Structure 1
Amino acid sequence: MKRSRLVLALAAAALSAATTLGATAAQAAPPSPDDIDRPIVITDPVPPGFTSWEELYGAQQRINTVADQIEAIAAAPEGAGFGAIVTEPAADRIRLYWKGAQPASLRALLARDTGVSVDLEPAAYTQIEMQAGIERIMAEQPETLSATANQITGAAPMPDAGGLTVFVSRDAASGRELPGVRAAGMPVSVQGTTAPQVAASRLNDFKPYWGGGLWSVFGNAPSCSTGFAVTVGGATKMLSAGHCAQSNGQFAVDGGGQVSDIMGPITKSSDPALDSLLINTSSSGRVFFGDEKTSNTARVVGRHFNHVGDYVCTSGAFSGLRCLIYVEATNVTQTFYVKGKKVGTFNRLVFAVHVDAESAGGNGDSGGPVFEPDFTAGGVWAIGTFTGMDSIENPAPCTGVPASESRGCSWQIWFTSVSQSLNFFGGEIVTG
């Protein structure tokens, strides 16, 4: 098929709404060569401390180059004392929280002139200790979300490695009295009224597929977004959200929705707590950006870890490009619900918020790319795939495909770490 573009007049979400795929569609004009490789333009206001988005992301790339090296040390046997990282792009600074003696590899890195200041501060707890606390708190999750009783819905390490932040479905005051919170075994900060819903058009893409396009399980209407092209075992595949499919062996179909538009079979993560899957199809290292009707793409230049303090963008098939999104927590474990029924408890998540409380994403964006623009390299760094949002307690007006009874959006989102997904599948990001 030719690379035509279908704009879907629906807002389906995997596991959250039932609509008819392609019930209403309009064909867009084929893209010109200039459309395919335009620079990303961010129209959101620039955060304080910077005069342009180019300046902000230039600083963030310098910082994350060093932060990723620290993450690699933390993942090695000598990195057991690692607590947390907080990035401060406006100050060209990293705050590194470490418990106990630092290994020689870390001392050597900190002694080098990287151009980035690293403030080493003592951590009350290691990442390993905090993760054990999260697992204790999240060990027993009810199958339904109570309409009246307060419940724990998620937990994350505090940014300064001083304990845990626990998310509850109702008010924080009564949440502090919940048995799981009281038995945490370390300091806990409670954040109330958090009951996230799994989120689930851009265009009718074709092989090799790009990230940020529309896809669904063949024969099922609810739609999701493609994430990033990856290679596993020498073959290209497309990364997306695990909750978008029920089982291995199902077939993914692109926005055309017909048998001729089948992308390939699906392989879900064998770990139900990792919200990732692979579509076994030809893919390329590019992602769509712009609104839901766009033909513009940017090349993928690599992948980064996630750090508290980073600014990121989402680019799902339904919402289009959304930026000014700030990372508040990493290594999050969160339970998600649809109409009050538990869908799953996922870990290796990142929690982020739109600074101006505008939409950061919504239904139809699940599995879509989350990235950091790199204006110097002329592309984007892959950092995550969209998992869900809190459109009930913290809604925001949808962008892109209009809101409907089956579509909601939020300024609070969760996404799955690309690095964690690649580690699990043994894959590498495909660059453009």
Structure 2
Amino acid sequence: MRRKKALLATGAAVFSMALLGTAGQGANADEADRKTVAVAEVVGKDAARKMAEQRPLVAAADVISAARDRGRYEGFTGIALERDRVALYWKGALPAKMREAVAEARGKARVRIVAAPHSLKELKSASARLQERLRANPSLGHTVKIPTDGSGLVIAADPGRRAAAAAPRAAAALEEDLGVPVRTVREGKMKERSRNNDSYPWSGGALLKKNGVGNCTSGFGVRNNTGAQFILTAEHCGKAGDRYTNGADQYIGTPGPANDPHDIMLIPTSDVDNFMYTGGPDDERGVRVEGWGQVYTGEYLCQSGATSAAETGGPVCNLKVLYFYNDSEDLVEAEQMDGRTPLRGGDSGGPVYSGAANGGAIAKGTSTRSLGSKMAFQDFETASRDFGVWIDK
């Protein structure tokens, strides 16, 4: 699957390029040359409004999510952000500790509890068996998704006419075999997408050059508990031994720890910061990343890949989270709700984020692939779990 990733890499450009500067700027640009602005100034009024409206919903969802993590409950199914409230999907009776968490969350936003036909644990078990079927018979589909409401499993399959005609029979057979409803949607498989002159310390949202050729975007500057610093980007952007530089060919580092299925990679480097470019390829505008947060179905996000920035002059927003994939990649699917292109070649590894109340940004993940108006990204929580990293401040 990833053999062709070097050709298609778009947004993963090493975070080292993230501090995108002017094309003719020297590599040792002073920190003062960069212009830190409020996220609302760069994402647009509509995106800023949506993010602001969702802020109390995210805060309420975080309370519920934290309680769920502490209890490891069997009945949990999913959490979704709706227009003006949070939906908690649960199979069976809600435990006392979760009722307490919901009560606390309701101090931040409205919360409704919805009976789910299947728990997340049940659906993941069924999904594991379904993925075995897909490996044995790829014509059944290429991606397994779990709807947040627990209604069953969704298989994304290529839209060929013959396959579409056979889909209802295949879904019925799978449902009987797996014990949960299975629905097939006709979608092609997303393609991996691989600013321009960042400078030390390295930042997010900048162009990354692999062995002298620009192919991706840097995600975020991160560090671990030993104090080591890295650029977080997409794994498909390169491999061990590759040499990463910025747009002016200043050396950043070579690939370090990576998780191929999750499509995330760390590039060890000398120094990073929490700046993230959000403007066009030839300006210094950007925002400060205040930390990272969990991702929820229904949440609106933005992405700041280097190629998209060059074509649009800024970030791509109005990206609504639709699904969490349940396969070895464990990606998150979002859709650009205006029908615009969500990612372009060279955006891979770039930052996916929401707005913070203080005008900064909250890291949500790094871009991986897209098709049409839909994109897939890896959430930051997975990177934190895989590598033990957090936003460098």
User: What TM-score, normalized by structure 2, do the two folds share?
Assistant: 0.83
Cross-structure match for 1:399? none
**Structure 1 residues 302-317: aligned runs within 5 Å:** 302-317=291-306
Residues 52 and 355 of structure 2 are in contact (CA less than 8 Å); yes or no, is this contact kept in structure 1? no
Match for residue 337 of structure 1? none
Number of the residue aligned with 1:124: 117
Unmatched runs of 5 consecutive residues or more in structure 2: 14-21, 310-314
- Deviation, 1:292, is 2.8
CA deviations 1:130-169 (Å, max 9, x no partner) are 2222222223656998xxxx44110111121111121111
Aligned CA RMSD, in angstroms, stands at 2.9
Conservation of the 8 A alpha-carbon contact between 1:353 and 1:412: yes
3-state DSSP of counterpart to 1:131: helix
Aligned positions, number: 363
CA distance in 2, matches of 1:366, 1:155: 22
Q: 1:272 aligns with which of 254, 257, 260?
A: 260
CA 303–328 in structure 1, closer or farther in 2 if over 3 Å, else same: same
2:266 aligned partner, one-letter code: L
Deviations 1:147-206 (A, max 9, x none): xxx441101111211111211111554333347845443112221032211111x12112
Please, which runs of 5 or more residues in structure 1 have no aligned partner? 1-12, 47-52, 334-345, 395-410
Residue 154 of structure 1 aligns with an amino acid whose one-letter code is T
- Counterpart check, 1:104 vs 2:96: yes
Partners of 2:204 and 2:351 within 8 A in 1: yes
2:209 match: secondary structure:
strand
Structure 2 counterpart of 1:246:
239
Does the 8 Å contact 1:216/1:244 carry over to 2? no
Q: Residues 328 and 255 from structure 1, CA distance in 2 versus in 1: closer, same or farther, beyond 3 angstroms?
A: same
Residue 274 of structure 1: how far off its partner (Å): 1.3
Q: Which residue of 2 aligns with 1:398?
A: none
Match of 1:170 in 2: 159
Q: CA separation of 1:135/1:222 partners in 2, compared to 1, >3 Å: closer, same or farther?
A: farther
Structure 2 matches for 1:256-295, cutoff 5 A? 256-257=248-249, 261-269=250-258, 271-281=259-269, 282-295=271-284
Give the 3 Å change call, closer, same or farther, for CA 426–350 of structure 1 in structure 2.
same
Which of 199, 204, 229 is the equivalent residue of 2:221?
A: 229
Q: For 1:318, what is the secondary structure of its paired residue?
A: helix
* Structure 2 residue 144 is matched with structure 1 residue 155: yes
* 1:421 aligned to which of 372, 375, 383: 383
Matched AA of 1:60: Q
2:8/2:193 contact within 8 Å kept: no
Q: CA deviation at 1:42?
A: 5.2
Structure 2 residue identity aligned to 1:361 = L
Query: How big is the shift at 1:215?
Result: 1.2
**1:318 touches 1:363 (CA, 8 Å); kept in 2?**
yes
Residue 275 of structure 1 aligns to which amino acid in structure 2? D
Comparing 136-145 and 226-235, the one that deviates more: 136-145
Amino acid aligned to 2:55: Q
Q: Is the 8 A contact 1:349 1:417 kept in 2?
A: yes
- Deviation larger for 324-333 or 411-420: 324-333
Once the two structures are aligned, what percentage of the paired residues are identical? 26
Find the residue that maps to 1:267 and give its secondary structure: coil
Counterpart Cα distance in 2 of 1:246 and 1:139:
28
1:380 and 2:361 aligned = yes
Code of the residue aligned with 1:164 in structure 2: it is L
Q: Provide the TM-score with structure 1 as the length reference.
A: 0.76
Partner residue of 2:68?
A: 74
Higher share of residues assigned strand: 1
Q: Which structure has greater helix proportion?
A: 2
Tell me the alpha carbon deviations over residues 286-309 of structure 1, each in whole angstroms, 9 at most, x when there is no partner.
211022333111001121111111
SS at match of 1:138: helix
When residues 229 and 417 of structure 1 are mapped into structure 2, their CA distance, relative to the original with a 3 A threshold, is: same
SS at match of 1:319: helix
1:70 match: secondary structure: helix
* Residue 64 (1) aligns with residue 30 (2): no
Does 2:340 match 1:358?
A: yes
1:27 corresponds in structure 2 to 24
Name the counterpart of 2:77.
83
Name the counterpart of 1:10: none
Taking a change above 3 Å as real, the CA distance of residues 348 and 250 of structure 1, as seen in their structure-2 partners, is same
**Which position in structure 2 is the counterpart of 1:430?**
392
2:285 aligns to what?
296
Tell me the residue number matched to 1:400.
Answer: none
Task: Tell me by how many angstroms 1:65 deviates.
Answer: 1.5
Amino acid at match of 2:298: G
Following the alignment from structure 1 to structure 2, what is the Cα–Cα distance between the partners of residues 143 and 38?
Answer: 51
Residues 83-119 of structure 1: CA deviation (Å, up to 9, x unaligned)? 011102x31x100001223333322121225231110
Partners of 2:220 and 2:64 lie apart in 1 by 24
Are the counterparts in 2 of residues 306 and 330 from structure 1 also a CA contact under 8 Å?
Answer: no
SS of residue matched to 1:361: coil
Structure 1 residue 125: deviation in Å?
1.7
Distance of 2:384 and 2:187 partners within structure 1: 32
For the 8 Å contact 1:289–1:298, the answer to whether it is kept is: yes
Q: Residue 251 of structure 1: CA displacement?
A: 3.4
**Is structure 2 residue 203 aligned with structure 1 residue 215?**
no
